[in-house]
Structure 1
Amino acid sequence: MPMTRKSLSRTFLAPWLLGATLLLFIVIAGALVLNLVRLRDSFAWVQQTNKALLAISAIQQAVLEAETSERGFLLTGIETYRDSYIRARDALAARLDGLRAVLADNPEQIAHIDELRLLTDMRMAQLGRVVELGPERMREALDILEQARVDRLTERIETSLSVLTRAEQALLIQRLSKHDRESLAAALITACLLILAVGSAAIAAFLLEHQRAVTRQQEADQRLQALQAELLRVARLSTMGEMSSALAHELNQPLAAVTNYVQGSRRLIEASSHPDKSKISTALDKAAQQTLRAGAVIQRLREFVGRGETDKTVESLRAIAEDALALASVLTRDRPVDVALSLDPAFDRVLVDKVQVQQVFLNLIRNAFEAMRDQRERKLTIGSRLVEDDMVEVVVADSGPGLDALIAERIFQPFATTKADGMGIGLSISQTIIQAHGGSIKAEPAPGGGTLFRFTLPCSDPIRQHLSFSPAAE
């Protein structure tokens, strides 16, 4: 069966779809990797913000500790407060450097840090002068503190730290919001690509399965065509044999009569006084010899046809019947027939010539389909059972109008038919095939109406099946 342009396009489309599906899965994998990278960046941004907030808090704590130590030393003169101030001052400078390193990628924040450093330097200078004066020069120290209150350096430091904190938090929110939007878009694109990939894979799988189904159907059609050709060949050969046998039978009688007439004429001419009787006798002798020769040829032809030689193998009876049903199904396309195939699986193996027995099934099934064509109820039943002499009996029954009484007695004779376009040799061929297998075939009215044919075939394992056979099973 040649492939159509549509089937060819499907054949070439499936590999392309598989390639596109693979490419889509690669793109999806890339999108997933990109999302993982973005997630890592988000985590890094959160970590950076946490580090910045911790550094800001540490700077605030250092300023507070420096001011507290300065007050304690001024009021008590205890050196511990002086040492604590010095540690807080040194720590403040280190923490400002650390904050600058964390926010090095943000010029605006760097400007705020430089402003904060200026304020903290001024404040630390004031506190350092107060610590240097100490309790001994309390009045001068108080003047410096008063000036610090007027300058409001501490409030300005707190304000600068708050600006840094809010800016860093706002930047984190902005980054996370952008990441969320990009992640959502990437997720939607990935989902669409995934749906497209799954759809492409499903379509490709469907096309591949359809291609395999078409291939299987083409192979089945080719096997069916080969089987039909083989059955037609056997049918032609069998038909030729039956026609030859029938013709030989019909010609033998007139040939025998011709021989008798020639011999009688020779005797008459010999008893006469005809002047040319010698020539006439010679001619009659030659005519008699040719007549006998023709009879001998016909006899040899009949013996050849009547030999019934078959090539027998072990076959499945169900498989043969199913093949014949498949071949005959063309007759039931416009008028379906209810077919019941109830062959006994215990006696499925038979020793037959497969093609010839298929021809028997085909003849009986085709006749049944044609007989039931105009019936309201169209039902065909095919069954089997084990009978005596290690033979399997097959029953083919239809619900047609039944046997015609005018032809019932000679239904298996060649050229006996009631069909206007029939040759009347199908059942004769079937009988010849069955008899060549050592079986028999007969026709009878079906109990519920219609026609029932019975024929027998040899079992493939007579000993085992004979032991398993019981008359009660009938």
Structure 2
Amino acid sequence: MGFDQRFTIGLIAWIAALAAALLACVAAFATPGLGAARIVALAIAAGTFAGLWAHVTRTNRTIARFLEALKFGDTMLRFDARGGAGFGELGGSLNEALARFRSDQDRLSGELRYLDALVDDMPVAILTVSVAGNVTLANKAARRLFAGEHGTLPEDFAIYGATFAQHLANASQSEALLILNIAGRSQRMLVRAATLERLGQRTRAISVQPIQGTLDAVEMAAQTDLVRVLTHEILNSLTPVTSLAATAADLLGDADLTADPRIGDARSAVETLARRAKGLSNFIEAYRAVAHTPEIKRQRFAARPWTDELARIFVAKAPEVPLSVHVSPDTLALDGDPDLLAQVLINLLQNAAQAMSAADRPPRLALRLLGDGQATAIEVEDNGPGVPESLRQDIFLPFFTTRAAGTGVGLNLTRQIVVAHGGAIDVTDAPGGGALFRIVL
């Protein structure tokens, strides 16, 4: 890389001027009686040397200011190569390099903004734990999931589960299936941990993925498949029994055989067998409804008039049971199938009324719909005998019932409808005694 032409001409001129000034100084000192001329010659020589020095160092100063600006991140600066400051080719190359650097910086900034937005909008909750042990909710899903009051240390998250807090404090990389207390109910979560390098420091990233809905859906699918296979096989075996029993009953009803009393007994037994086989076929056919996943026809509808209509239907069926209804906020809207959800609530209300009928205190039944903008909780609370903790999972199984006249289908269908809506249902003890069924959509 050579000197700029103007810089070279200027340099030669300054050197020639300095040489002439030095020659003048030599001549002045060599000639006697020129004291003033000597002073003038020295001043000219000094000024010429200063001009030469400024001309030579001007480019260095320009480059120094240029590099100092880069040091503080000012990528908008341009190298000034005008006015013979020198190194025009250098200035052009530096400006070109700076333009590329600025372009790469803009590209990397855009990529970083994209990655930040991607992480922030991920459906899986992500938490980060610094070397000092500070926990940060890193994206929207984490802020929604852990919306309650908590601090920034692992032990502060013990309100969601002691095991989860230990997992945050543990420095190992692991994967675990944990049960967390979220929004007042237990949910199974898949928790994964990984260690990353960030700005020279090790940071742990914790992902928390709710899988309760997926597990519920898989469980319901397994149940419906099992019921479908069982009913199919039982009906296939029972159909010929029913047909043969009916045929045998007809044959034994021949008038020529009625004289023998044993034939009459045999005919009565076969007719009984035919009736029971037919009744069992009808019974199994009715249960085949459990094997069909309900088809959801979603729509958005106002909760208040829908709930008022449910209350009127229930009061018409059970006027002796007082029902209180609470909807908050009053403008709450639901996204789902209004007919199937109505079937769910009517079933829960009727079950509650039947449970309270055997109690020795006045019945009390409440229906509440509570929305917070992210989820809707539907609660049915009664003051009956409640559901024993040992049976709280079994009551949602197909054909399981604790009532002599029960079929064991209602609560299973209720759960199927709720799970098909992407929600969950569970039962706990009511604060004042009784059962509290809670549906979260």
TM-score normalised to the size of structure 1? Answer: 0.32
Q: Considering Cα pairs closer than 8 Å and 6+ residues apart, tell me whether 1 or 2 has the greater RCO.
A: 1
**Rg comparison, structure with higher value:** 1
More strand by percentage = 2
TM-score normalised to the size of structure 2? Answer: 0.34
